[in-house]
Amino acid sequence: MTNRIQLLKFLIFRIVSIIRLILLKILYRRYIFFKRFKIYIPISCKIKIFGEKAVLKIGNNFSIRRYSDIEVNNGNLLIGDNVFFNKNLTIVCRSKIEIGDNCQFGNNISIYDHDHIFNSIPFEKNKFIVKPIYIGNNVWIGCHSFIGKGVTIGDNVVIGAGSVITKNIPSNSVYINGKIKQLIIEK
The residues assigned a catalytic role are 116
Chain centroid offset of residue 108 CA: 11
Asked if residues 171 and 154 have their Cβ atoms less than 8 Å apart, the reply is yes
Report the DSSP beta bridge partners of residue 47.
70
The candidate with the shortest Cα–Cα distance to 49, out of 21, 79, 20, 24, is 24
Chain centroid offset of residue 4 CA: 33
Chain centroid offset of residue 55 CA: 14
Q: How far apart are the first and last CA of the chain?
A: 44
Parallel, antiparallel or unpaired: strands 46-50 and 76-79:
unpaired
Rounded to the nearest 10 degrees, how much is the dihedral formed by the CA atoms of 11, 22, 55, 103? 10
